[in-house]
Structure 1
Amino acid sequence: MSQSSNAGSEQSAVTSAIDAFRRGDPVCVHDAADREGETDLIYPAAAVTPSAVSRLRNDAGGLICVALGHDVAERFGLPFLQDVLDHPVADDHDLSYDERSSFSLPVNHRDTDTGITDNDRALTIRELAAAATAPEETDFESTFRSPGHVNVLRGAPNRLADRRGHTELGLALAQAAERSPAVVVCEMLDDDTGEALAPADAATYAEAHGIPFVEGRQLIERFV
């Protein structure tokens, strides 16, 4: 394949991912071999249904999280979890792939029961997306409670210009697709090896299910 053809194919992959997000469909995103080396199944949070949560549990298998844009997290006063944990385990959060974790508080919507069912988690996720769309109209404390079963992640202030994790990759897709700054990310795991699903296997899954597969590098080149 010529260099120009390869560039066109990569741009097509990014365009397909943006179009899918605009429709409310999922995308598979591999961050980088020298970062986490993981592929996440990513949805725009507003489009998540109980069946989507079931797919995330069964087909991906990692931790189901909602990444919120930095300004939204600031508006809601959501801290980095590491900053508020009063325990020695939080003193030295040494990561091999980044300077700090994006984790904030785990929450449930107040209309949920246990919070862990597909129905409950889908409700919490969609309500987080609604809150992110109109943060000035949301009383976060009366709408959500913590601890809960949906992990919230805080996006970096300048998204991919600051940090290049799945949190920021997903939020960049949401912005390009003109969706709420709230995305669901979940790592794809390998049932046989117990490790992250290999990118080639994630791409095969994506193709079989009509889901765009895109490399983090391609998104970074498009958006930064």
Structure 2
Amino acid sequence: PDGLDAPGHLSSAHDVTYLARLVMHHAIVRQIVRQRVATISDGHVLRTWNDLLYSYPGIFGVKTGHTSGAGWNETAAVHRRGVSIYATLLGSPDRSTRNADLVKLLDWGFSRYVGVRPVVQGRVYARTLLGYGRHPLELVAAATPGLTVPVDRPLVRRVVFPGVASLPVSRGQSLGQVRVYQGSRLLAAVPLVASRSVSRPGVAGRVGWYATRTLHHMWGWVS
């Protein structure tokens, strides 16, 4: 199919948006579709038919199209405040209506979705106990995930980690997770890692710890 009007040549907004997102994985495509003006080999200057490239903040593509049968169409990609939105409009009666309706659709999208970072890399989210009287070990997030979520659906963060960690422990060792949910849907699971290395005491250290612990308990019984 060449995209021109013909029996059986049909596309939905979902089809077009899906294809646009696929091709935008290629750097050369992203570079081309955000250009307003280009000069081709014979010196002829071409100007984009994507009017929103001149007027809508954050837009970086993607494609317009028009035939007598399909009307005026466009798939737009916009990035603002950590949120990327693709919007497709098909079958507009004219170019100005297409532009105005697509702006309304994009504005609605940005009013309904927000970019969040519910977990911050390096931040302490838990402390786990260690054996042999060692100081508790801080567990920090290994990454900072970026999520795009509806503005009216709160997120729930759950921290999962062992109450006591076995020694030895290496710095960066995964010992738990921070899980981010929206309702019952798991959106992200970020590893919790050890903030420092902790060795297992040698034989003398373990014997000394057990002796001190025994004396402590005996003193408690006497008193």
TM-score by length of 2: 0.24
TM-score by length of 1: 0.24
Larger helix share, 1 or 2: 1
Choose between structure 1 and 2 for higher RCO, CA contacts under 8 A separated by at least 6 residues: 1
Larger strand share, 1 or 2: 2
Q: Which has the greater radius of gyration?
A: 2
